[in-house]
Copies of this chain bind each other. A is one copy, B any other.
């Protein structure tokens, strides 16, 4: 699956979106402006970001404040409401969608086009000098707030953190915060007890002579305490904060979410406090730290509200050690990745075999019908716990819309004469999957085959790469593109992202891609990362071939400079799709790779689908040597 945040860096003009009616926002804006003008606030503008208080990539319904105030439902955007203007900033992927969803109260700011300011520049240059700009400090990261404050100096404007979210005050029908139960992620899947993980953190905090560490990213808390939840769709996390000190730990989570088994699992050493108590506690910690040399460790993604509560002088910003620790999977997690991907592959080929058969029989199926059937196959597999993201099931031109997710009633009928792209994944107790296959159920054109094969060559180049320790995914990224480049082709997203272990399908800090940030974290043994080069032709088709890889040590014949060498193990086990391969274009080594991979698919999946002759026949056909 493509990392949406990643793609957000690029302009992928999108002309195939679904027409929709604008939401009428006049009353909402009036109510907000009334509040802004009150003596309590007296602000000239109010910022409404997309993110939640934990800087989550996916957000719960109660946090969809920017959707509600603007009517725009895209996943990336930023709203600025001043007393006489309302501006919605988004990027090229969403220009058409936003123009259809916004009513006339809003000005659409098409970021990336010439002469369109960023929202930061807009605050500096389009608002009157000396403006008071209000925002909920839980919804902006320390790093972004600090940069924004610097930029605002140019116009003498100031950022005014307002504790109570103004949208929440006026949003009468706002959904309740999720109250789903938290459950234990047992050691048989986690591989390491939460006591050991906490112990590592205590040692880290001591080594830094710090007071403690605040954890606000939801997947970090879930990983740290070996707990999971379902507060956010497709992400098995739960709303919480944690404060870890040199010797103790406090988990802030609503009492109602905790069962006896969770309390028993946490034991008496983890103090449990209410989610709402965290800021009071941070203020107390802050006043105690005034008297000491010690600091609270935060990271760049921690929200401004934490810094405000503790006091800027009492925090030290450092790279999140939990993100780094979480990225290196232990042996149990690695085995879980292997196991769940084989089960996931079995479900996927049952689906592909069924779909091909249906289409050959002339069945009329739309993209959603198909995705639903895939979900059904997945849900029958052991340890299944839901989808890891909304399935991308797209026919023909829809495949070129990288963030496409089909919805009734606008989903298209799958056309067997066009390329079908399916990017999907499941959450299993023993791991998270993310796989893309691009198939053609009829006769692809020579051009479609050439494009597909160029993508495949990039996929193989990454899969087969060997590289010294210290190498980053930034430097490996060109391997995924070199074959496409020879034809003058390319793709405008990264090549791969980390994958959680029964956690978020996108996780850092590493990745393979063109973002310079990926040059800060070398790939290391035990990391998971996707390998998903693609090629997209607007209005025609999309191609992507995605496996999940594990980084492992490679026993090279030599070991120059004692650096140690690394390579990949693919855990995704699903045939690539023979009908789109232009065999003539492949080197002998590439053909061997395809045949070896398909032999592995046949061996690992064959026994699992033996009950279904249709699937077995499909598997045998799709794994024939080329």
Contacts and interface: CB of A to CB of B under 8 A. Distances in A.
Interface of A: 465-468, 471, 474-479, 482, 484-490, 492, 516, 519, 554, 556-561, 563, 565, 587-589
Contact of A479 (B482, B484, B492, B588): B482
A565 B488 contact: yes
15 contacts: A466-B482, A468-B485, A474-B475, A478-B478, A479-B482, A484-B560, A487-B557, A488-B558, A488-B559, A489-B560, A490-B560, A490-B561, A516-B519, A587-B587, A588-B588
A490 B478 contact: no
A561 B492 contact: yes
In the complex, the 5 A-B pairs of residues with the closest C-beta atoms, listed nearest first: A488-B556, A488-B558, A466-B485, A466-B486, A490-B560
Contacts of A554: 488
A468 B491 CA distance: 11
A587 B482 CA distance: 16
Contacts of A467: 478, 482, 485
Contacts of A471: 478
A558 to B, nearest CB: 4
Contact of A485 (B519, B565, B589): B565
Nearest to A561: B490
Tally of this chain's copies:
2
Contact of A478 (B479, B484, B488, B561): B479
Contacts of A488: 466, 554, 556-560, 565
A561 B536 CA distance: 11
Contacts of A468: 485, 490
Nearest to A555: B488
Contacts of A558: 487-489
A465 B478 CA distance: 10
Nearest to A10: B561
Contacts of A487: 556-558
A564 to B, nearest CB: 9
A275 to B, nearest CB: 43
A486 B589 contact: no
Contacts of A559: 488
Contacts of A561: 490, 492
A484 B558 CA distance: 10
Which residue of A466, A519, A559, A589 has the most chain B CB atoms within 10 A of its CB atom?
A466
Contact of A482 (B465, B477, B489): B465
> Which of A467, A474, A488 is the most central at the interface, judged by chain B CB atoms within 10 Å of its CB?
A488
A588 B585 CA distance: 12
Contact of A477 (B466, B475, B485, B516): B475
Contacts of A565: 485, 488
A465 B557 CA distance: 27
Nearest to A461: B482
Contacts of A486: 466, 556
Contacts of A492: 561
A487 B479 CA distance: 18
Nearest to A474: B475
Contacts of A477: 475
Contacts of A476: 478
Nearest to A486: B466
Given A490-B561, A588-B588, 5 more contacts: A471-B478, A475-B477, A488-B557, A488-B565, A587-B587
Most buried by B among A474, A478, A479, A516: A478
Contacts of A516: 519
Contact of A475 (B478, B489, B588): B478
Nearest to A556: B488
A362 to B, nearest CB: 35
A490 B467 CA distance: 9
Contacts of A560: 484, 488-490
A554 B489 CA distance: 13
Contacts of A474: 475
A477 B467 CA distance: 12
A468 B487 CA distance: 11
A508 to B, nearest CB: 21
A556 B476 CA distance: 23
A483 to B, nearest CB: 10
A24 to B, nearest CB: 38
A557 B487 CA distance: 5
A482 B565 CA distance: 12
A572 B492 CA distance: 35
Nearest to A566: B485
**Residue with the greatest number of chain B CB neighbours at <10 A, chosen from A471, A476, A492, A561:** A561
A552 to B, nearest CB: 14
A40 to B, nearest CB: 45
A558 B535 CA distance: 12
Contacts of A482: 465-467, 479
Contact of A563 (B479, B490, B556): B490
Contacts of A484: 560
